[in-house]
Homo-oligomer: A and B are copies of this chain.
Amino acid sequence: MSAAMPFTGFPIDRAGLKRREAEWIAGRLADPGSDLILLQAGQPVLEMQAAADGSRALLRLSASALGALPDGVPTVFLGLEGDGRAVFAASLPRRFDLETSPLAGLGEPAEMRAAAAGILVGGELALAATAKDLFDWHERHGFCARCGAASEIAEAGWKRVCPSCGAEHFPRTDPVAIMLPVRGDQCFLARNAQRFPRGFVSALAGFIEPGETVEEACAREVMEEAGLRVLSSRIVSNQPWPFPSQLMIGLLAEVAEGDAVLDLDELAEGFWFTRDEARALLSPQGLSFDGVTWRAPPPLAIAHHLITAWIDAQT
């Protein structure tokens, strides 16, 4: 699963125990032999040159490039390469103009979803997504939720501590259940009322709530959003999803007979598709009906892989 699923396959040793060694971290950050990748407002900075297949690597600088960046840019320690090199990420301020900086011409920021669609691939994408998650979290958690004081980055970017009340805060990852309702030779896909234009359908999804198993969240969401009763479900895959910091847990959900009754605030319309139709939805041509050409999510998204898993399960 990991090889084909975007955002998975983190390529280096996270070396989590090193995060607590503040002196060691400071030394690696000051070492020109350490690597530095850059993000700007959550967008990974890529090399200018593309490979023959159109893919592009993350711009890798020496950590000494930190000297060319504004003072106090947030940095996080991502881990160690096989040869012992430390890898850090720095988050450029939104207003920082890369093109008029000493780093001009070396790289450019790319929107993460666009980059994830075949430009930034494999472990490079996992590195960038992990850094994005951490910087997103720091940006939204500058204050202590327990006492309201400004909190501080600690443990090489993997923790925040409150100097006032002493509370420790750790990066947040929200588990989400994402599921494909299936019945006999058909699967159910729906168009999200807020996010999708006509012509695009996907699996159902929702946050796993306190006190729920993955399967309970799956059954609740399928009933809430589509009015379908789940008879049984099974987890088939999972994916870290940095928009922001989610862990998508994918299930196939066998549902009982009965018509779908949509929560129209969530879902604008929903349809049952056969395996052949689902295959067409995933193809570049799409599937035409109601005067529109319909498509389902690209391989970027776990929903694509859920649909594929269901198609393949029967063939």
Contact residues of A with B, CB < 8 Å?
Answer: 1-2, 5, 7-10, 14, 16-17, 126-127, 129-130, 133-134, 137, 140-150, 158, 167, 169-175, 207-216, 220, 224, 235, 238-240, 242, 245, 247, 249, 263, 265
Contacts and interface: CB of A to CB of B under 8 A. Distances in A.
B212 A10 contact: yes
A24 to B, nearest CB: 16
B134 A210 contact: yes
Nearest to A133: B210
Contacts of A210: 129-130, 133-134, 137, 171, 173, 240, 242, 245
A247 to B, nearest CB: 5
Contact of A8 (B16, B130, B207, B213): B213
Contact of A211 (B1, B10, B211): B10
A167 B140 CA distance: 9
Contacts of A214: 238, 247, 249
B213 A2 contact: yes
A8 B174 CA distance: 19
Question: How many of these chains are in the complex?
Answer: 2
B175 A211 contact: no
Contacts of A5: 213
B238 A129 contact: no
Given A16-B220, A173-B207, 14 more contacts: A1-B215, A17-B224, A126-B211, A130-B212, A141-B145, A142-B145, A144-B148, A148-B148, A172-B172, A173-B209, A175-B175, A211-B240, A214-B247, A249-B249
A148 B238 CA distance: 34
Contacts of A10: 211-212, 216
A211 to B, nearest CB: 3
B142 A146 contact: yes
Contacts of A150: 148
Contacts of A144: 143, 145, 148
12 contacts: A8-B213, A17-B265, A133-B210, A133-B211, A141-B146, A144-B145, A144-B148, A172-B174, A210-B245, A213-B239, A214-B249, A215-B238
B240 A213 contact: yes
Contacts of A215: 1-2, 238
Contacts of A145: 140-145, 169
B143 A220 contact: no
User: Which 10 pairs between the two chains have the least Cβ-Cβ distance?
Assistant: A130-B211, A133-B210, A143-B148, A141-B145, A148-B148, A175-B175, A145-B145, A211-B240, A8-B213, A129-B211
Nearest to A139: B146
B171 A209 contact: yes
A17 B145 CA distance: 26
A222 to B, nearest CB: 13
Contacts of A207: 170, 173
Contacts of A140: 145-146, 167
A2 B216 contact: yes
